[in-house]
Structure 1
Amino acid sequence: MTIAVEDPLEILPVTLELRALVTVLAGLNGVGKTRLLKQIQRSAGDPARLISLHELCAWLYRLIEERPDLEEATEEVDPLEVDQEITLDAVRSIVGRGYTEIRWYAIAFEDSPFAPIVGEDVIPFFVVSDGDTEYSLADMGLGELAAHVLLWTLWYVREKSDLLLLLDEPDAYFPPRSREPLLDHIATVAATRQQAFVLTSHSREVIERALQHSDVLSYLGRVDGKVVLTTVAEEVREIVQQVLYPRAHVELVAWVEDESAHALATALLARLDANTLDRLALYWAKGTSDLTEMRARLPRPATHPRQLEFAFIVDGDEAPPAARTGLWPAVALPGGLSPDELFQKFAPLAAGTLSALLGRTPGFIGAMLAKVEGLDPHDWTNDLAAQPGLDRSQVLRALAEACLDGDKEGVLIEEFRGRLSGSGLRTFSAM
């Protein structure tokens, strides 16, 4: 299928050739991906339906604030009979929750923003059960809501095989682990229902997954002020591998004491210099004794060519071992406290960060924090990480980010910067 693109500014490609049912348009921010989708919609006419998750989710959130009684409307309609294998299992996979029940509804609503897409004046409503907890879309975080909205919309137009569905960065609201199953679901829908998809993305997971299939990935760039489309597979692969996501060489292997320390160290390093994480392999051990023993068994040669370095990162409540000739350095995390103590001290001060990263409402986060109030730091962290429906590593990452956001003065980051720059390691010399 070849689409003629009409562009009044004459900066977009004049045609777009769709050589597969799913086309992924990759490109940096600001290159013109969204503009191209909108012009495709105008040029292709009725079969083209533009789905902007950002606008749809924002509209639903506003509606819920204005109409807190909206759930009552579900009492007047039956739940939709949605297929389990293709759709509902995909929701579980993308969201990352083992819902025990999913109920989707279509509620009549005048001037619905979904009408241009699905062809009816209806809006979605969702109710799910996660273990013993039942909640509706009003209590969903943005990532969870976006998954339900997108898959509900795709399911609702399942009978229209001639559609060209245009998705503007649908992966932007999902964590990395959810992006590949999202693209897999879109591919399944396209093949099963013979619908064509064009989606834009600058997500590494989606782009590298698209590279595995012929004629799926194209690259949008700018040359002399005009948007240029690269479609030759070899050229696209070269751009992705050498320009977008060049392979980094590991320069430093480091160990921390445990999983909490790993989450905190990763968050700190990302704030100091995100590029450092591409050159670092970071692992966690089983406590201080492990680090001490490994450090003693990994001597530092006097004539080491410095192509690969090693380091040991101890908790902040412990004094790092003194520097010794012939041993790799030990660096302490900042704050003078253990990671769990830092989480307990600072993370509640940035509950909004926890809400955003865990995809839970502020009320849910407040209830979580109230439930663990008064526990010792280790149990406090472990109980939060054991919340039903939440992944432990996801919770620890969220606690680490919230901890740094709660440290309003940025003392922890600057303290860690000083310790790294004074470690004598080449990897951190520029800090």
Structure 2
Amino acid sequence: MGAFSVKRIRASDHWRRVVAPRNNRPLRLISLEYSGLLGLGDGKIPLHPVLTVICGANGVGKSTLLTACRLCIDFENAATRSKSRHGSCKIELSLAVSNGNQHNFKLDTGIHTKPDDIEFPVYRIDAGEEWFRIKNLVRNEENWQEVLDAVDPRVLNPGDLNRLSYLTQKTYSECLVYEIEDFAGLPTFPYVEVKVNGTQYKFEEMGAGEGALFLMWWHFDRIQHPCVVLLEEPETHTTGHSQRALMDCLAEQCESRVCSIVTTHSTEIISHVPKECLRLFVRNGNNVDVTQSPNNSLLGMTLGVDVRAELLVLVEDRCARELGKEILRRYRPDVLSNVVFKDVGSNDVVCANGKVFPPVEFLNILCLLDGNERGNFDILDGVKRPVEFLPSNLAPEEFLWQYCESKKAQIAEALDSDAATVNAILASINGFDHHDWFCDLASRLGISYERLLAVLLRIIVSVEAEIAEACQELADGIALHVKSN
């Protein structure tokens, strides 16, 4: 029985073991290579060893990929349906077994070859389509009650009811599951009757989302290990909560003995799945480009995925905030969209553990202090949150002023201005409070605060190797604290 836990607190453990699987797993996927495949053309997809989630726009070839996988590893069941469409293509799926040896399943212009002595079940699940098929079958069958009377139903126990409630967000007090075999030439399928808040209803009376989730639970409960599970857009008809819950349940299935390939265009699923498991499909003429572990910026541009912040960086003021953001933008743009910078007024407040920003679920917090605070043990004493420092041993405003004075010609060239004008403006603000001068300089130059800071940083790191190295180290240090990284 493939029962699964639904405790949210354990979900992160399941995902951790999916991302970094054991080498002695019974099955580990490697890659899928194809040529002449309708809808995909020619290409090779590196697969995650345990769970690969294929995302992309409609019509990009996600469903074709599942068909190709099934043609390779479940040829007898798939050939009658798909051989005519893909009879001229070549497909090769590579996987490894527990001893680490690689084996290849091949389909070459209709001829199928597979390794000797390697057998495992393959499940292709499209729960949304399956629910509609069962509903229509039941409604069109005049003697359906007679069919049910011939089957002893399974009465679900409280644990199974809780699992279903976790998926559907409904509280079931009773559930009967009839497993219908040898009916109308179809494979075994379930039929259920449930009771919620005293109201009893049947499978065909459910909404499409609830029915599809029941089917997912039923399939997960029955699968034999080890196996490969191919899921076709499991988000169909379901809410964001249920989509995330379903992927957590799949992660538990995949934790030890199941490999799975999932197609989706759900932003909820894409945002929930670790980047290591994602493969982004983008149409390129007759072929498809595949991006392994796409970053959030690319997902946002191509699919409109709303990126959830995963790291809160506390800084003293605006200058520290914009300098930190610009360093990250220059050196680690892959995590920039996951990071929020917040200026809180002073370095003392930055280090005030739990008083200003208590722990937040799914969000790390990092203290980013000015460079002149290095060695200030009065501030650092007792700090429990991780701490990083801005470049140099100066406050960021003093650090920037130092280079404004010495790099006037480079600043003028970068701003398409002349050195005399830049010199005059700098002279006019000389002596201003160090918290005010940068804002005034940007205003008098007629550019934004952010652009001026970007220009200055570009000039500084181009001539100061030590500062460039320090910026790289800071960006990498920030990236280490991003939860999904």
TM-score (norm 2): 0.44
Which of the two has higher C-alpha Rg?
Answer: 2
TM-score relative to the length of structure 1: 0.50
More strand by share: 2
